[in-house]
Structure 1
Amino acid sequence: MFGSLTVQDTMAQTLARIFRIPVAGKPIAILELGGLPSEIINVVVSVLARLAFDFGLWSGGQIPITFVCEEAHRYVPIDRSLGFEPTKRAISRIAKEGRKYGVSLCLVTQRPAELDPTILSQCSTIFSFRLSNERDQDILKAGISDAARSLLEFMSTMGAGDAITFGEGVALPTRVKFDMLPSHAWPKSNTASFTEGWAREAPSETFLQDVVSRWRQQSFGPPTPDLENAPNVQEPAPRPGTAVPSHRPAAAGAYMPAGAAQPSQMSDLQGLGSRLRRTLPPLPQGEKPGAPPADAAKTGATPSLASLMKQFRA
């Protein structure tokens, strides 16, 4: 039924595309998942984390991989009732065992206090940008030496590009400043400009229709056709004397399969049954329909299928 070309093993091609093998001058693969529902994002992140770990395991760590997870508090939260458990296990496995197979983990979050402490404890080097929440600052203070805690006092007033780094990656806790990229090279941050948006004129009348169309295409596939302009399919009238259930949909006739029996065909089948019954030989005198033959009733045996077929053909 199914041809041999319908199922193909494309695992190698999939890994080559995700992990950029060969690199060809583009060593970073970015997967934009912002337009997907949260349930799908959790599944995708879980699969990607498992692929990264298993690839490093079975490749012997020959190609180092850094798995960067932005908005990490969504996938490894401290609250056990939140998040997706397979995603937590996959990311936690990289944090605990990934370094043995050349797979490292980079967690990016604005709320370190909402991260799972087990996974946060595996982060050996920390870059902390501006933080104003005291709970988040307390989490970082627990991992820095007492002599360098004075650096954390400036965390709420640091400018863009300023950060405090400490851990295994640096000899001493240090305040650093990252070089800013030119504006045309900035990544898409999906941050709306409120001042520009309020200054624009009111959108056109088709604005909402365009928004709904893009919304449906991202979440539930292409938009459904306009039901108001769809042709009206009328339901066939029931036969006289037939009870119509109240819960039957109004357009039930529109969903009838191509090979299903129509009402006219059902009446023909009933007529065929009556004709078949008339072709059967008459019953012996005093015997009721459906009762076993007289000889079978005496012996207590039921007629066999062969005897019934022989009687029918006669």
Structure 2
Amino acid sequence: MFRVNPSDGEQPLHVPYWALDTLTLLDFLMGPMSEAAMTGVLDRIQAAKSSGANGVAGVDVNALMINTPLPFSLKQLWADLVDPEYKTWADKERTTPALEEAGDAHSLKLPKYSAPGQGSALPDINQTGVLGIKRQLTQMRSRLLDRQYDFMLHPGKWEPELSGKSQMDLPQLLEAWFGHDKPITVLDLSGVPSQVLVRLIGGILNITYEAMFWGRNLPEGGRNRPQLVVMEEAHRYLGRDANNPARDMVQRIVKEGRKFGVGAMLVSQRPSEIDETILSQCGTQFALRLSNNADQGKVKAALPDSLSGLVDTLPVLRTGEAIIMGEAARLPIRCRINLPPEDERPSSADPKVSEAWAKAKEKEDYERLAAAWRSQNPKWGQNISVKAQEDG
């Protein structure tokens, strides 16, 4: 189990920014830029990756691409980009910077230069290496300082130093996700801010697909160790919105992934909100109780006309009862799925409202409730309660 805010027995979720699609990363960090500015930023990233590529297995420096997953420092990139934007010169020859206080890449401190003079008066405004991206760099700095994005922008041992060297690299990330002896890897994204969710899911899926695709002939690759990616609450991030990296990556997986050992399972309460291309590639469907007409229509479209009457039973299906259709069933069938023992079920059942309302009110502690919210950990208050009882 990997989680943004891990509890006992869970590991922290780290998704290194340098392993994500570079254009998607820059869009999140800096927002829209002119073509010339984007080219200048990409050139610096390319140079930063190239400088640390020597000796890395599988990397040809002469054929290195902007999306090659190699560590580079975002802090150093910001410092290199921000200095020309604020620099002024103390002489007409522009050899002596009018620097009052040096910046610091590690703490993201801005450099302080003397204000440019009026007309021909010194200091002179800098015109070398200026991309006109002060606003974008301010946004980039705020993203880097925002602690809620640490799992991606400051990914623990995968965060490079200013020189570009990181304590852990791509092999250790892939081994952590795919190389353990457990049959399932759970990436819990419940604590991820909504502003970055679709980009993050797209990045995780891209890492998974690219690793299985390029390693397809290796023992660790997709053909020898096929992976099934299960996506809960799929309607939240696989809609028809424009500029959706998660949807684009899932489309690629459902169209091409099965040839390289990457499968997809979508779990959703609202199939009508999922992209049509993705749904059309799902070979088997398990339809549980559905009451919305639009959602029922998606199920009906997958059934032969002679069996469309099965859709009428969708609103009255019992818990654990489903209609199965597609490649897993020669004919669509209605069946009851055996429920796991109560002590092994996920904590997702509806509360028993009448019983809860009938109970006497217990002692309440809203300090504990607020702390659980702030820590993004629903077990926080329980742990404190247990400890208080033991101390007592």
TM-score (normalizing by structure 1): 0.61
**Alignment pair present for 1:47 and 2:203:** yes
- Counterpart amino acid of 1:215? W
Q: What is residue 115 of structure 1 aligned with on the other side?
A: 274
State the structure with more CA Rg: 1
Q: What is residue 190 of structure 2 aligned with on the other side?
A: 34
Q: What is residue 160 of structure 1 aligned with on the other side?
A: 319
Q: CA deviation at 1:157?
A: 1.1
What do residues 218-238 of structure 1 show as CA deviations (whole Å, max 9, x unaligned)?
Answer: 39xxxxxxxxxxxxxxxxxxx
- Counterpart amino acid of 1:153? D
Q: What is residue 208 of structure 1 aligned with on the other side?
A: 366
- Counterpart amino acid of 2:227? I
- Counterpart amino acid of 1:133? N
Structure 2 residue corresponding to 1:172, chosen from 319, 328, 331 = 331
Taking the TM superposition and a 5 Å limit, the aligned residue runs for 1:209-224 are 209-218=367-376
Unaligned runs of 5+ residues in structure 1 are: 220-314
What do residues 65-122 of structure 1 show as CA deviations (whole Å, max 9, x unaligned)?
Answer: 11110111001113x26xx711121222111211121101101111111111111111
Q: What is residue 64 of structure 1 aligned with on the other side?
A: 226
- 1:169, 1:112 → 2: CA distance? 19
Cα distance, 1:162–1:190 mapped onto 2, change above 3 Å = closer
- Counterpart amino acid of 1:120? L
| Contact 1:64/1:102, CA 8 A, preserved across alignment | yes
Cα distance, 1:14–1:200 mapped onto 2, change above 3 Å = farther
| Contact 1:36/1:218, CA 8 A, preserved across alignment | no
| Contact 1:130/1:159, CA 8 A, preserved across alignment | yes
What do residues 169-206 of structure 1 show as CA deviations (whole Å, max 9, x unaligned)?
Answer: 2211112221111100101217444334434554646x
Q: Which has the higher contact order (CA 8 A, sep 6+)?
A: 2
Q: CA deviation at 1:138?
A: 1.1
| Contact 1:131/1:137, CA 8 A, preserved across alignment | yes
- Counterpart amino acid of 1:181? P
Unaligned runs of 5+ residues in structure 2 are: 1-105, 107-160, 217-221, 378-392
Cα distance, 1:43–1:148 mapped onto 2, change above 3 Å = same
CA RMSD for the aligned pairs?
A: 2.7
- 1:13, 1:7 → 2: CA distance? 11
Taking the TM superposition and a 5 Å limit, the aligned residue runs for 1:104-253 are 104-189=263-348, 191-202=350-361, 204=363, 207-218=365-376
- 1:168, 1:40 → 2: CA distance? 35
| Contact 2:199/2:244, CA 8 A, preserved across alignment | no
| Contact 1:95/1:119, CA 8 A, preserved across alignment | yes
- 1:74, 1:4 → 2: CA distance? 38
Q: CA deviation at 1:11?
A: 2.0
- 1:105, 1:3 → 2: CA distance? 38
- Counterpart amino acid of 2:193? P
Cα distance, 1:195–1:46 mapped onto 2, change above 3 Å = farther
What do residues 147-176 of structure 1 show as CA deviations (whole Å, max 9, x unaligned)?
Answer: 221222211111111111111222111122
- 2:162, 2:198 → 1: CA distance? 34
- Counterpart amino acid of 1:101? F
TM-score (normalizing by structure 2): 0.49
Q: What is residue 270 of structure 1 aligned with on the other side?
A: none
Q: What secondary structure does 1:104 align onto?
A: strand
Identity fraction in percent: 36
Count of aligned pairs: 213
Q: What is residue 230 of structure 1 aligned with on the other side?
A: none
Q: What is residue 305 of structure 1 aligned with on the other side?
A: none
Q: What secondary structure does 2:323 align onto?
A: strand
- Counterpart amino acid of 1:77? G
Q: CA deviation at 1:45?
A: 1.8
- 1:47, 1:69 → 2: CA distance? 14
Q: What secondary structure does 2:282 align onto?
A: coil
| Contact 2:198/2:244, CA 8 A, preserved across alignment | no
What do residues 52-72 of structure 1 show as CA deviations (whole Å, max 9, x unaligned)?
Answer: 211210121221011110111
Structure 1 runs, 4 residues or longer, greater than 6 Å off: 1-6
